[in-house]
Amino acid sequence: MLHICIEGWGNWRWSEPFSVDHAGTFIRTIQYKGRTASLIIKVQQLSGVQKQIIICGRQIICSYLSQSIELKVVQHYIGQDGQAVVREHFDCLTAKRKLPSYILEDSELTELCVKAKGDEDWSRDVCLESKTPEYSVVIQVPSSNSSIIYVWCTVLTLEPSSQVQQRMIVFSPLFIMRSHLPDPIIIHLEKRSLGLSETQIIPGKGQEKPLQNIEPDLVHHLTFQAREEDDPSHCAVPISTSLIKQIATKIHPGGTVTQTLDEFYGPEKSLQPTWPYNKKDSDRNEQLSQWDSPMRVKLSAWKPYVRTLLIELLPWALLINQSKWDLWLFEGEKIVLQVPAGKIIIPPNFQEAFQIGIYWANTNTLHKSVAIKLVHNLTSPKWKDGGNGEVVSLDEEGFVAAEIRLGAFPGHQKLCQFCISSMVQQGIQIIQVEDKTTIINNTPYQIFYKPQLSIARPHSGKEYFHVPDSATFSICPGGEQPAVKSSSLPCWDLMPDISQSALDASLLQKQILLAFSPAAVADRSQCWSLPALVRQEFPRQSVSVPFGNYRENGFCTRAIALTYQEHFGVTYLTLSEDPSPRIIFHNRCPVTVLIKENTKDIPKCEVYCRRIPPECSIHHELYHQLSSYPDCRTRDLLPSLLLRVELLEETTSEWSDAIDINNQGTQVSEPRGFLPKPKETVPF
């Protein structure tokens, strides 16, 4: 049980106790010599172990205005001597905030007025009616800077005709402008009946700004101008406060008066998605407003229960280049424009299929992707390939893959892969171009990587992997900011064994090499890991990444877990420290030892030997373990291993007999062709 004590009428007085065990709204009153102070108590359950208790009076005053105003409220009551008393209360109502509530009855708070902060003149008094549950009036706020400020004063009633009834007074602008364009726009505000006109700058990117110098009951005409060197739009949009009343009567945004009040309590939160609205959400299902005109103007009620008119400027689409490449946009055979990396533009209304292209200086050529045709009102399937493979169809909600092959000569070619997705947000078609593969670094280390594309030759018999000379990229250590620890993969280097005609995806194999240092050494294998395959059938693999020329606690490698996931057409490769590597090899011999896995079945990819430097330890994962993931068995029968000693001379030693690693204990191995000692022992 809780009590509330308030200071009133010159002394302190306690309320009756109340319980906070159950959520709800109730009232406690404190009376003194015929006067009453009503306290509204709201108990809200925030979580299973946390409640929020709000104690407030009957009068709530809040503001949606972008500037602070000064407020004067007038209180009428009967004094102890039976005479009528009038008191004035002054406060500063901060922009987009609320005042502490007034512990006054509706009959006591009878009128109010406002003025601009720092000015001397007050507006006319607004009489507050106690019998009307909801009404709005326009107030002219005097201003010394020659601008005209008109605001809505809306009076709402919460829980009408109940003991916990409250009055909520909301100040809001007459008109709010929200532009979804990438750049600011110039609007021309015409008062044709008065022969007046002025310009205002409206920011883009979904930001809101109230229109200035708007008068009530007067029709204003808006025209739009993208840049100073351009002409204004020919079509004008008429707006007025009478239009606000019509729209508010026909269309009421969802929400209750209580939800309106909730905006001013607790942490700030925006119900609107963030521009440019490219967050992929499979649950959303919006309709595209238009695709045959560049722009449209939408008029609607701004918020529930306030008379502010929202004027939205919506492009038909936004094209977002999220890739690392500066792209060229083609429609048919015509170059439309260039879209730099990270740039957001309004694309033209496509009449034909479009393509993206990359200028490659080495060949002085613009290389283009497959043609993509936007399809509207397509019900099934969500997206599909064209019949000849030269054109793919992209629905309003879907994604397609596109590739651009750079270079002309084998060994000097790169393959850029993109995911082009479409979704409808805010009535706008959001077309996004992303690199198809994103790498996420969850480790505290900077990691270098070589993405490569080669011909898949399962089990060709190659025992050694030669690290080819190819492009190297890096990703910063993982941090708290998601943008810091993730990086898209720009391109794949095509290995020299891929001919100009080898375009069949089934013949190509993606692989990635990892390193902690890009230092060039004579033997690149000391710095780079064995290739890790980038395939959906290998969702997790443990990659043994060398340190290079130094060791850490006797280890010359660190185990990095590489996981593979796909989401809305984008492949995500996540790098994390492997907390439990599958196998650790300790080489306590003074020579380098090679270990080969004796695979049972024909592997789906190359299985290379593992090289262990002398007096060193490394991490390892067998192909058997990689290919059987995520199947987990308490007792898994592992394949046997073969050993061979690496000799400095040109002579090559032979492989040892098979070593069974399924049982603990010590086994003796005799690598053929190498007998510096009577025997080498390999402990497991």
522: pLDDT confidence band, cut at 50, 70 and 90? Answer: very low
Average pLDDT value over all residues in the chain: 85
pLDDT of residue 456: 76
Name beta bridge partners: 36: 31
What CA–CA distance (Å, rounded) separates 146 from 213?
9
Q: Is the pLDDT of residue 253 over 50?
A: yes
State mean pLDDT over 125-147: 83
Q: What does the pLDDT read at residue 481? A: 61
Q: Which residues contact 292 (CB under 8 A, 6 or more apart)?
A: 316, 349
**Is residue 543 pLDDT above 90, yes or no?**
yes
- Output 239 or 668, whichever has higher pLDDT: 239
In this predicted structure, the answer to whether residue 492 has a pLDDT above a threshold of 90 is: yes
pLDDT for 569 equals 93
C-alpha to C-alpha distance for 425 and 278, rounded to whole angstroms? 8
149-174 average pLDDT score: 92
The stretch 11-15 carries a mean pLDDT of: 74
Which residues are CB-contacts of 548 (< 8 A; sequence separation ≥ 6)? 515, 516, 517, 519, 521, 526, 527
The residues with which 384 forms a beta bridge, in sequence order, are: 393
| Mean pLDDT confidence for 67-90 | 88
CA 146 to chain centre: 43
- Of the candidates 127, 128, 122, 115, the one whose C-alpha atom is nearest the C-alpha of residue 168 is 128
Query: What amino acid occupies position 479?
Result: G
Residue 10: strand, helix, or coil: coil
The arithmetic mean of pLDDT across residues 26-37, rounded, is 80
pLDDT score recorded for residue 254:
58
DSSP for residue 630? T
Using CA atoms, how far apart are residues 435 and 322, in angstroms rounded to an integer? 7
Half-sphere exposure of 584 (CA within 13 A, CB side): 14
Q: Residue range 311-326: average pLDDT?
A: 96
pLDDT of residue 386: 42
Name the pLDDT band for 286 (thresholds 50, 70, 90): confident
d(CA 82, CA 277): 62
Give residue-wise pLDDT tens across range 629-648: 877 666 678 888 988 888 76
Distance CA 478, CA 420 (A): 27
Helix, strand, coil percentages (3-state) for the chain, rounded to 5, are 5, 45, 50
pLDDT at 289 (0 to 100): 73
State which amino acid sits at residue 428: I
List of residues 6+ apart from 543 with CB closer than 8 A: 514, 529, 530, 532, 559, 560, 561, 562, 621
Report the pLDDT value the prediction gives residue 380, as an integer from 0 to 100: 38
The per-residue pLDDT for 336 is 86
Half-sphere exposure of 437 (CA within 13 A, CB side): 21
Q: What does the pLDDT average to over 329-344?
A: 92
Nearest to 287 by CA among 154, 148, 396: 396
Residue 276 main-chain phi, psi, to 5 deg: -95, 25
Range 359-381 average pLDDT: 82
| Tokens at 377, concatenated | 């009102």
Residue 466, pLDDT > 90, answer: no
Which runs of E-coded beta strand occur in 308-397?
309-315, 317-321, 327-331, 334-339, 344-345, 354-360, 365-368, 371-374, 384-385, 391-394
Provide the percentage of residues in the chain whose pLDDT is more than 90: 44
Give the pLDDT confidence of 558-580 residue by residue, as tens digits: 999 999 999 999 999 999 999 99
Q: Which helix (H) or strand (E) holds 625?
A: helix 623-628
Q: For residue 159, what pLDDT is reported?
A: 87
Residue 649 has pLDDT above 80, yes or no: no
The helix (run of H) or strand (run of E) holding residue 158 is strand 149-158
- When pLDDT is averaged across residues 177-196 and rounded to a whole number, the result is 93
At residue 47, does pLDDT exceed 90?
no
Q: Which residue has the tokens 């710095």?
A: 527
> Regarding predicted confidence, which is higher, 270 or 51?
51
Range ranked top by mean pLDDT from 90-104, 375-389, 520-534: 90-104
Number of Cβ within a 10 Å radius of residue 447: 20
Ranges 412-426, 439-453, 471-485: which has the least confidence:
471-485
Is residue 54 pLDDT above 60, yes or no? Answer: yes
**What region, left, alpha or beta, does residue 623 occupy, with left being phi > 0 and alpha being psi -120 to 50 degrees?**
alpha
pLDDT at 4: 75
Amino acid at the residue 291:
W
Q: What's the rounded mean pLDDT across residues 232-238?
A: 89
pLDDT at 52: 87
Determine the 3-state secondary structure of 242 from DSSP. Answer: helix
Q: Which two tokens stand for residue 334?
A: 């015509």
Helix (H), strand (E) counts: the chain: 4, 50
Among 26-30, 270-274, 321-325, 366-370, where is mean pLDDT lowest? 270-274
Which of 85-99, 379-393, 468-482, 504-518 has the highest average model confidence (pLDDT)?
Answer: 85-99
Instruction: Enter the tokens of residue 46.
Output: 């925030």
- DSSP track, 102-144: B---TTTEEEEEEEETT--PPPPPEEPPSS-SSEEEEEEE--T
Given a contact cutoff of 8 angstroms between Cβ atoms, the answer to whether 573 and 560 are in contact is: no
Binning pLDDT at 50, 70 and 90, where does residue 250 land?
low
- Bridge partners of residue 169, in order along the sequence: 61, 155
Cis omega (within 30 of 0) on the bond before 276? yes
**Around Cβ 343, how many Cβ atoms within 10 Å?**
14
Q: Which two tokens stand for residue 522?
A: 């004579």
Which is it for strands 59-63 and 166-173: parallel, antiparallel or unpaired?
parallel
Residue 434 has pLDDT above 80, yes or no: yes
* Average pLDDT score over residue span 19-40: 83
* Calpha distance 93→102 (Å, rounded): 13
Domain boundaries, the chain: 5-56, 59-173, 175-315, 317-435, 437-683
Note the Cα 260 to chain centre separation in Å: 26
What is the pTM for the complete model shown?
0.85
| pLDDT over 90 at 404, yes or no | yes
Burial class (CB in 10 A: 0-12, 13-18, 19+), 195: exposed
Closest CA to 199 of 182, 164, 224, 174: 224
Report for 214-228, 242-256, 655-669: range of highest mean pLDDT: 214-228
